[in-house]
Structure 1
Amino acid sequence: MKWAVVLLGLVALSECITKVPLIKGKSMRQALMEKGLLEEFLQKYPSDPAAKYSLYSSASNLPMYNYMDIEYVAVISIGTPPQSFKVLPDTGSANLWVPSIYCNSYACSNHQKFNPGQSSTFRSLNTPVSIAYGTGSMTGFLGYDTVNIGSIIDTNQMFGLSETEPGSFLYYSPFDGIMGLAYPSISASQSTPVFDNMMNEGLVPQDLFSIYLTRGGAQGSVVTFGGFDSAYYTGQINWIPVTRQGYWQISIQNVMVNGQVVACAQGCQGIVDSGTSLIAGPQSDITIIQQQIGATMTSNSQYSINCQNMGNMPEVVFTINGIQYTLPPSAYVRQLNGACSSGFQSMNLGGLWILGDVFIREYFAIFDRGNNMVGLAQAI
């Protein structure tokens, strides 16, 4: 939601989030080894990336809480002894940061604050850090400490401690901080991102992670570090080259409605971004899509939809690397308290599109740093 319009009335989720269990079971590799079938399997599937990646036993699942299909929030801990924080796993940024006891901003008043004086393993860098998002920002300084993410214990992770969080956006957010999962080239103050540190320290069996997002506020959303689970998708994984190693940026060939190209006609660039609620694009293109799906602008510049029309609304299709990714009305229409609104949003990002949670809910996403690819498959 960091790029989206602020939704007032967000409530604290600490009771719900902290009760989400860690999910970790026996891997395929372990099961095959126990039955003496591992060597035969590897000989049969030597070049199948899905088969290869699903074998590793030390991939770690980090559960996420689905907040009304708006944001997906996970719990991690920092320090010794651990101090727990709710964070937004965000493939659209690259810094890990949480509020600190030095923050007196309104936004920090109702969130957990890290106290470095209570951690025996904290080391301050005294390096300033400043991060601005589409909505919300922070300033503070960098430090090192032990960070627990799922079953992974990262004993030397750089992170930001906020001292200011201007405005009210972060006050209403159900998360304390943000865990960026993009490339280090966009990291503020050259801070090492969480997943880069996992790779550098050999904490993951494969240099990739995957994201599964549930629908309708259901539990079961997860980030898997070091692998992916075939239980979260159906059909084939399609691998798409990353075109620029900053965001998880890929090429989009076009956007179609009713078989006609209505946007991105000459091709465009997009990013797969778990930290953004909606699908965003250039205003001219998004305006056409809103017209095609029958969305009308309201007095607060939002696009509303008549819920009774959903059965007659068209599919919106993104063509990516020769594959068509279809979004039915059930995917792009947001339903809340009996009202319906569009899951598309205009935003001036120099022609860049954002494939946010509306897209990722439909298409299980794998972020492969080892090969600089994004894998997409139909989510269950």
Structure 2
Amino acid sequence: MKIFALVSLAGAALTVVNALPIVVNNRTAFVVPLTRNPHFKPDAQAQIAKLNRRYPGLNVLAASAGRIPLINVHPDLEYFGPVSVGTPAQSFKLNFDTGSADIWFPSSTCTAAACRKHTRFNAAQSSTYQKDGRQWSISYGDGSTASGFLGSDMIDVGGIQVRQTIGLATAESAQFGSSPDDGLFGLGFSTIESVKGVKTFLDNVIAADLLAQPVVSVFLPSERLFNGKGGEYLFGGIDSSKFTGSLIYVPVIRKAYWQVAIKDTLYNGQSLGQGGEGIIDTGTTLVIVDEAAAQAIHEGIDGALHDPEVGWLVPCSVRSDSANRVSFSMGGGAFHVPLADLAYQEVGSGYCYSGIQGGKYGLWILGDVFIKNNYCVFSQTTSPSIGIAPLAVN
């Protein structure tokens, strides 16, 4: 189908001139030379529409992929990228979050201090905005909250455009005031939308056949490996230059968060006998496991200790240790986090706050400390999965 479409597009740019007779095997044939039409203007969408009208069963899709470049908030605290909303476009810096499903940012009618520190959406200035009328609110695990109302407008994510229901905050808790991004872009499943019945961005673009593949690929660049630069979310595609080996697809066991079975935790390849169910969450900075797993992990790290007021600490000297590693076994593969990324932030006396913390009973959370070492492809097919492979490091 790709070859057929390309031939059709190329042919539209050419004009037939007079046929010339030639002799082939003692028989006369006619050659039709072609010259380029100087007035031709390429229009891929029109050509695809023409193909679909002519061959209704062919279903050639005008699908593509959209790249969102990311800004790394020091020290690998979070990552955000630009999203355009409305007509004419209003630009927002949004935190892409596989651990939630709502897309939201402040309304121009919000006067809270946290709202005033960020770009606010002015619905009156968008010709494509549509009122919804439903109230909206959301809360997160750190106690932060936002509330307001729903509306819908055109959203552009790396060139992928669709009409989307959005939350417009008229109130935000103080925690959001210190955040460098304007709001959140949820990439979880619609089952965890704050308002029942709202479809996610992925639901809408997949239903509209706007993506070449029903995936979002995530490359989070750490400051240690990439100076925090070059990160991206790739909607509709997979960039094989970003990882080594082959992706191993881990089945999603519950379509809410991107929830998977963690079969085991390993230290330098040796089983610690610790596993559970967890989510791979781009919106969480650290890795959070239960206390038994956290203790088993840190027992293998020389000098690690647990402070009841702070949590697990490791010597900051492990920042130079990329050989020893913690691994998580999922889907038949083992995916690694080197000790170098466990020295997350200095707390004094030569100690750093560990990138792996305990105390989470129930779902584990494999946050950015895990993802910045592994390329992750969130595949929203009828049987969703997450493809994982180690990052390619030059």
TM interval, short-chain normalised: 0.7 to 0.9
Structure 2 gaps of 5+ residues are: 8-61
One-letter amino acid of the structure 2 residue matched with residue 184 of structure 1: S
* Matching residue within 340, 356, 374 for 1:344: 356
Distance of 1:359 and 1:219 partners within structure 2: 17
Query: Quick one: structure 1 residues 253 and 147, their matched pair in 2 at CA, closer, same or farther if it must change by over 3 Å?
Result: same
Kindly indicate whether residue 120 of structure 2 is the aligned counterpart of residue 109 of structure 1: no
* Matching residue within 352, 367, 379 for 1:356: 367
Structure 1 gaps of 5+ residues are: 1-28, 35-55
- Aligned-pair distance for 1:80? 1.1
- Aligned-pair distance for 1:346? 2.6
> Which residue of the partner structure matches residue 234 of structure 2?
224
- Aligned-pair distance for 1:377? 0.7
For 2:279, what is the secondary structure of its paired residue?
strand
One-letter amino acid of the structure 2 residue matched with residue 288 of structure 1: A
Q: Is the 8 A contact 2:152 2:166 kept in 1?
A: yes
Q: Which moved more, 1:337-346 or 1:232-241?
A: 337-346
Distance of 1:298 and 1:269 partners within structure 2: 26
- Aligned-pair distance for 1:351? 1.8
- Aligned-pair distance for 1:86? 0.6
Kindly indicate whether residue 142 of structure 2 is the aligned counterpart of residue 141 of structure 1: no
> Which residue of the partner structure matches residue 195 of structure 2?
189
Distance of 1:259 and 1:204 partners within structure 2: 38
Any residues of structure 2 matched to 1:36-51 within 5 Å, and which? none
Q: Is the 8 A contact 2:133 2:149 kept in 1?
A: yes
1:3-26 deviation per Cα after TM superposition (whole angstroms, max 9, x unaligned): xxxxxxxxxxxxxxxxxxxxxxxx
Aligned length: 325
> Which residue of the partner structure matches residue 296 of structure 1?
305
> Which residue of the partner structure matches residue 128 of structure 1?
135
> Which residue of the partner structure matches residue 99 of structure 2?
92
> Which residue of the partner structure matches residue 374 of structure 1?
386
Distance of 2:309 and 2:128 partners within structure 1: 48
One-letter amino acid of the structure 1 residue matched with residue 121 of structure 2: F
- Aligned-pair distance for 1:263? 5.4
Q: Is the 8 A contact 1:290 1:342 kept in 2?
A: no
Query: Quick one: structure 1 residues 309 and 246, their matched pair in 2 at CA, closer, same or farther if it must change by over 3 Å?
Result: closer
For 2:228, what is the secondary structure of its paired residue?
coil
One-letter amino acid of the structure 1 residue matched with residue 304 of structure 2: A
Q: Which moved more, 1:82-91 or 1:128-137?
A: 128-137
| Superposition TM-score, scaled by structure 2 size | 0.77
> Which residue of the partner structure matches residue 178 of structure 2?
172
Q: Is the 8 A contact 1:129 1:160 kept in 2?
A: yes
- Aligned-pair distance for 1:282? 1.7
Larger Rg: 1 or 2?
A: 2
Distance of 1:115 and 1:202 partners within structure 2: 29
Distance of 1:256 and 1:374 partners within structure 2: 20
For 1:188, what is the secondary structure of its paired residue?
coil
One-letter amino acid of the structure 1 residue matched with residue 91 of structure 2: S
Any residues of structure 2 matched to 1:310-321 within 5 Å, and which? 310=319, 314-321=324-331
Query: Quick one: structure 1 residues 259 and 222, their matched pair in 2 at CA, closer, same or farther if it must change by over 3 Å?
Result: closer
Query: Quick one: structure 1 residues 284 and 339, their matched pair in 2 at CA, closer, same or farther if it must change by over 3 Å?
Result: closer
Q: Which moved more, 1:363-372 or 1:104-113?
A: 104-113
Alpha-carbon RMSD across the aligned residues, in angstroms, is: 2.4
Q: Is the 8 A contact 2:264 2:271 kept in 1?
A: yes
Q: Percent identity?
A: 35
Query: Quick one: structure 1 residues 311 and 148, their matched pair in 2 at CA, closer, same or farther if it must change by over 3 Å?
Result: closer
For 1:112, what is the secondary structure of its paired residue?
coil
Query: Quick one: structure 1 residues 344 and 122, their matched pair in 2 at CA, closer, same or farther if it must change by over 3 Å?
Result: same
1:156-188 deviation per Cα after TM superposition (whole angstroms, max 9, x unaligned): 11110011112x221111111000001111111
- Aligned-pair distance for 1:299? 7.6
Q: Is the 8 A contact 1:95 1:192 kept in 2?
A: no
| Superposition TM-score, scaled by structure 1 size | 0.79
* Matching residue within 59, 81, 85 for 2:65: 59
For 2:234, what is the secondary structure of its paired residue?
strand
Which has the bigger relative contact order, CA under 8 A and spacing at least 6? Answer: 1
> Which residue of the partner structure matches residue 157 of structure 1?
164
